[in-house]
Homo-oligomer: A and B are copies of this chain.
């Protein structure tokens, strides 16, 4: 049976919205709420129905009124608002990290289904989607095989990454001066500077900043294949940082400095400088990654 996570998420969202409203006030129409909650009207009506039952809202013949502000305890747990497929995704990544799997290891759908408490269909659907990252491969009539995050994988990944990012960085620098990318870049520059001064305490925050910066650059390529490829890079970095925390502060300190050079170069719009700083940073990132990968 389909889970009602959409309803629960919409329920929580409406609760959050209503707690900012005054009791006695009328509530927006179903159509407006539908936009606000990002769900279908059917779902909105279901939520409103339950809120009416609980005496939080009251349905008049013309519209609804807020009776009492909702209490935080009325909301559903966050975990209940995650669809099965999202849960599978999270659990699979954890599973991948937990035991150290070797390249060539078989992945058993039934086994994962039991471990994750979902049906095999859910697992299979996830694996099919996940296979686009080339970390797993389907063997005809006999399940999946973990390809492993090997040194070769990392090298091939970076070969493509360098090609893509250099091209994107050039495209970025060549954007018209009123392109929105420039303001975004300047604000990222500020964030980098802010983080730099507090790096010893806040070094965990770099990961997110790193992703936003590189995504901004890659987006300038305006090429869906280049942009999509960053999903894989992002996944790998996430994965990698999970199991190699050594020197994290130091690595991030260096990376911030490299980013700042790179950002300066982009702001200068000088293609040669852009290429040099971009390449320098990527080589350094590659070295870091390779250092923590097996043979």
Contact = CB atoms under 8 A, between A and B. Distances in A.
Interface of A: 6, 40, 121, 124-125, 128-129, 131-132, 134, 141, 153, 156-157, 159-160, 163-164, 167, 221-226, 228-229
Given A125-B125, A125-B128, A134 B6 contact: no
A157 B121 CA distance: 33
Contact of A223 (B124, B125, B132, B159): B159
A163 B156 contact: no
Contacts of A221: 159
**How often does this chain occur in the complex, in copies?**
2
7 residue pairs, one from A and one from B, having the closest CB atoms: A132-B132, A128-B128, A156-B223, A160-B225, A128-B129, A163-B163, A159-B223
A159 B164 CA distance: 10
A6 B224 contact: no
Most chain B CB neighbours (cut-off 10 Å) among A159, A160, A221, A224: A160
Given A134-B224, A159-B167, 19 more contacts: A6-B141, A40-B141, A124-B125, A128-B128, A128-B129, A134-B228, A156-B222, A156-B225, A156-B226, A157-B225, A159-B221, A159-B223, A159-B225, A160-B223, A160-B225, A160-B226, A163-B163, A163-B164, A163-B167
Contacts of A132: 131-132
Most chain B CB neighbours (cut-off 10 Å) among A153, A156, A164, A225: A225
Contact of A156 (B141, B156, B224): B224
Contacts of A167: 159, 163
A147 to B, nearest CB: 9
A149 B131 CA distance: 23
A6 B142 CA distance: 12
Nearest to A38: B140
A159 B132 CA distance: 20
Nearest to A129: B128
Contacts of A40: 141
A135 to B, nearest CB: 11
A131 B129 CA distance: 8
